Structure 1
Amino acid sequence: MAPQATQDIVSRENGKRWLPTAKQDQSALEALSQGTPLRGIPTFPSFHEHRTHILEHMAAAFRIFARNGYTEGMAGHNSVRDPEHPHTFWTNPLGHAWALMRASDMILVNYEGKAIGGNMSRPSNSAGFFIHSSLHKARPDVNAACHAHSIHGKAWSAFGRPLEMINQDACVFYGEAQAIYKDFGGVVFDDAESQRLADALGPKGKVLMLTNHGLLTVGETVDEAAYLFTLMERSCQIQLKQTPRLLMGWKRCI
């Protein structure tokens, strides 16, 4: 995409288009050169504006997932904690195409995955939300979770092994950041397995590999969880390219 397109931002307040000036660009570069960090998670003057921001970014994450081919029928689901009512969560409606997802399509559910608000014209994936619910309960820092049936994530999960640190990007998942759930039993219908998922992720985990199933990522924001999912999927793809080497190593051990 051209720089002009990426910088052409529409202001919500007055509808005018805003373009950063050369002076503003230079100031940003100087701040970075002096070690000043980039702006973090934004703050909002009201819960309504915060919620709107979250749902718009959630819809964008679904569309990115669809563009990357992470869709598989009705499978997969993302969730994000409501900023005003932290024991409720926004998630996607069952059977709605991810490529067409809008902020107004999201459903508000409780810990049991039952719809209590938002767009209730479709049911939520209550069975799918069982995967998320215990993670949200156990980890107050987990505001968002993403789970999809991506090709390379499913393929690598069949090994039941963590990613190796074979490149710089994979190092994001070093140590306790990645976890393996070896006994995944399919569709989650009970609290017991949901709790086992949370236990497997642990207090510091960011990504959870469900053996023979796929990937699940969590984050403080839906942006973080979605980014980690795309990075984990790409890292699984790179790891699979090393599979012949791995198989040769296993053969020598037999």
Structure 2
Amino acid sequence: MNAEISISEYTTREDLAAVYRLIAYFGMDDIIHTHVSARLPAEPDKLLINRYGDLFREVTPESLAVIDHDGNLVRGPQVPINTAGIVIHTAVHAARPDAACVVHTHTPAGVAVSCLEEGLLPLNQTALLFHGHLAYHSFEGIALDKEEQVRLVADLGDKRAMILRNHGLLTVGRTIGEAFSLMYNLEQACRIQLAAQASGQKLVLPPKEVQDKTAAQYDADPDGAAELEWLALRRLVPIAA
């Protein structure tokens, strides 16, 4: 570990690098595109993000760059940062003090559902994790214009996930593990929906009261599943100290 990096920052770097590796492991990456960011615990106005050009399976704790909410590189070697990553992630972190981590993907399933007028349907318990917690943002072209930031964060509001129309998926976590878990489940919900729709059969949606009950059960997390899940996921992609 670099002596200039605090223990809390290095722990954050390890967890964020693990998210990049997990996204690659589960086939949710897009070559060198899309991005994941994490707020630095001791410097809430700064965040970690990948350098543009690395495959997600190549990301290490040391390779992550530190930028501020204006997108300026503030620590480490001069490296290219994806402009769309700067626009999207700095906007969310600046607007949401609870956003410890933001994950954005362009998977075939996520993009496909983002192109559907009805969006994500409350078809099953995986999709119902997002019942009442899912926002939508209209497509404005590649996210290169900072003027879009205002509309993006307004559409996101206090939601934990957002479908970027004709674009992809985004999740916001109070922890790095939560952000990844939300993205994994949102991706699964999209895949399940597309599989069900492809059958050509009439879809059966749970009653509204069951949808509300299931969402509340997820929010309560009585078994502490979220923390156990993250510990298990970290074992899949060990990051050497």
TM-score higher than 0.5 here?
yes
Taking only aligned residues, the RMSD between alpha carbons, in angstroms, comes to 1.9
Tell me the equivalent position of 1:108: 66
| Residues 116-154 of structure 1, C-alpha deviations (whole Å, 9 max, x = no match) | 113x25211233221122211221111210112112111
Query: Which has the larger Rg?
Result: 1
SS of 1:140's partner is coil
C-alpha spacing 1:136/1:247, structure 2 compared with 1 (3 Å): farther
Shift of 1:246: 7.7
Q: Partner of 1:197 in structure 2?
A: 152
- The reply on whether 1:80 has 2:34 as its aligned counterpart is no
Contact residue 217 and residue 228 of structure 1 kept, 8 A: yes
Alignment of 1:1-20 (within 5 A): none
Query: 1 CA distance for matches of 2:74 and 2:178?
Result: 26
- Whether 1:220 aligns to 2:147 is no
Measure the CA separation in 2 of the matches of 1:230 and 1:67. Answer: 11
Selected match of 2:135 from 164, 179, 182: 179
Q: TM-score, normalised by structure 2?
A: 0.77
Could you list the per-position Cα deviations for residues 76-116 of structure 1 after superposition, in whole angstroms to 9, with x for gaps in the alignment? 01111111111111000001111111100000001122211
Q: What are the ranges of 5 or more consecutive residues in structure 1 without an aligned counterpart?
A: 1-46, 250-254
* One-letter amino acid of the structure 2 residue matched with residue 89 of structure 1: L
Counterpart CA distance in 2 for 1:65 and 1:214 is 14
Tell me, in whole angstroms, the C-alpha distance in 2 between the residues paired with 1:163 and 1:187. 22
Q: Of the candidates 80, 89, 92, which is equivalent to residue 135 of structure 1?
A: 92
Structure 1 CA distance for aligned equivalents of residues 117 and 48 of structure 2? 30
Residue 84 of structure 2 aligns with an amino acid whose one-letter code is A
User: Contact 2:126–2:186 (CA<8 Å) still a contact in 1?
Assistant: no
Distance between the aligned counterparts of 2:171 and 2:131, measured in 1? 14
State the TM-score, normalizing by the size of structure 1. 0.73
SS of the equivalent of 2:144 reads coil
Structure 2 alignment gaps of length 5 or more: 204-241
Tell me the distance in 1 between the aligned counterparts of 2:7 and 2:113.
39
Q: Could you tell me which of 141, 150, 154 is aligned with 2:107?
A: 150
Asked if the contact 1:115–1:123 (Cα under 8 Å) also holds between the matched residues in 2, the reply is: no
Amino acid at match of 2:142: V
| 2:69 alignment partner, SS class | coil
Q: Distance in 2 between matches of 1:101 and 1:57?
A: 11
Amino acid at match of 2:23: F
**Which structure is higher in RCO with an 8 Å CA cutoff and minimum separation 6?**
2
Asked if residue 56 in structure 1 is aligned to residue 11 in structure 2, the reply is no
Question: Structure 1 CA distance, aligned partners of 2:105 and 2:22?
Answer: 12
